Chain A
């Protein structure tokens, strides 16, 4: 909290770090995680949207992936873990699966971020598609293993299609937030 601004990274005259400015910066830093938690809570709420339960995996994965690539400081592994735990407890899936899948998505985003952050949107999207395919396949396999029978693959494919289709929309929203309301340097 008491870190001095490093002059070599952000040169220029800085405003005094008053308590409001620090709160503002902290809020901006916490926005991605808070938004993801709110997303999980809302999508489990009785909104009566069509295919509401199918939206949940795609949106959480997209959120975790985007922030892991573009600002991992706002989406640390512990937050991803808590997000997965919340997801598991609110939805009716066997516990642990969502935690594991979200952590894998986070790890992929974090590991490849130096390559990905410089690429255009299309390539990031393709990588997200691959990661989501792998993770949803794993989810399906674990579900099948736990219920001791081969589950139908159609829901998993639908889930993947929805996740892929939702990513550009969420990416646009997150990019806007990344440059605007969620940017701590603007505080």
Chain B
């Protein structure tokens, strides 16, 4: 090692801190000036820790499983009774769905309906919740070079969905990890449709658990408990993915309670709908220059009944081919009026 004189060593020690503070400011400015560098660094770091985290996730999942199992054992008989009743109800609905599917098939045959291609998807494990105070996102671990069904690789703008509903959108992609901006993130704006009134609206993330519902037409009042599905107005999301239900947290203050369990996402499916009409902001939390304005939809721009027909067609096909995560357990995304009519007929 070098032997420095005491004076020199003291001077160096005094200089280190101001130098490092200046360096921190440089890093901050660099991060703001060129977001790609920061993004690359972050993705490299995520790639480095993702295997470690997925290794860590296994024992934790095991522990959590044991805890959940013991809790379930306590309530098993009541649960059984409830499930039996629910099963009865669901079987009835299954008949309804099958009848509707058959009817739909005949109607489509009469209309020369061209079926939409099933979207390709990849399943990924959420290894870490990288949420911050000012941003909501999760980190996914993806096998290197994973290829989707029809030779599409993992890319930005893919739609992330869990078993129950919409989770968010992929915003950053590394070789082994990807980041998904959740719908609750402050920068997230999702064009949605209210299912019973067919009105278009915007679901605006606020970093809270339930995103706000805004920009619906003036003559439409979202009803408590009404289903909310995505809308393909801006061509970012496909129409008809289930998002959540309307809930009022105050007068004239509707929010959407997401179906997806955003608090602890375990596994998500990433769908490539080939809809990349709009470039997303570089990373959540900070709007790119002029980026946020692209996400807004003119007030009252209604998706139209076409979307809704398409959405429900997807919904009914889903249980058959298993491609689309459309139904929430116990709920069928079909028009209840028709369903009731079928029940009466049957």
Contact = CB atoms under 8 A, between A and B. Distances in A.
A185 B208 CA distance: 50
B135 interface: yes
Q: Which among A46, A54, A84, A147 has the greatest number of chain B C-beta atoms within 10 A? A: A46
Contact of A46 (B128, B132, B285): B128
Given A94-B28, A94-B285, A103 B131 contact: no
Given A46-B56, A46-B60, A147-B287, A96 B130 contact: no
A95 B133 contact: no
Given A92-B283, A95-B41, A100-B25, A53 B49 contact: no
B111 interface: no
B98 interface: no
B64 A48 contact: yes
A41 B179 CA distance: 17
Interface in A64-111: 76-78, 80-81, 84-86, 88-97, 99-100, 103-104, 106-107, 110
Contacts of B127: 46
B149 to A, nearest CB: 28
Contacts of A146: 32, 286
Interface string B55-84: 011001000100000000000000000000
Contacts of B27: 85, 88, 95-96, 99
A175 interface: no
Contacts, number: 125
B42 A1 contact: no
A92 B137 contact: yes
B28 A95 contact: yes
B23 interface: yes
Nearest to A53: B131
A53 B132 contact: yes
B4 interface: no
B134 A81 contact: no
Query: Which bucket holds chain B's interface residue count?
Result: 35 or more
Contacts of A88: 27
Contacts of B133: 53-54, 155-156, 159
A26 interface: no
B77 to A, nearest CB: 28
Nearest to B181: A92
A45 interface: yes
Contacts of A41: 49, 52
Contacts of A143: 134, 285
A148 interface: yes
28 contacts: A45-B56, A46-B57, A46-B60, A52-B129, A53-B132, A53-B133, A54-B133, A77-B20, A78-B16, A84-B24, A89-B42, A90-B45, A90-B46, A92-B137, A92-B283, A92-B284, A93-B132, A93-B135, A95-B38, A95-B41, A96-B26, A99-B20, A99-B23, A100-B21, A100-B25, A107-B21, A147-B134, A147-B186
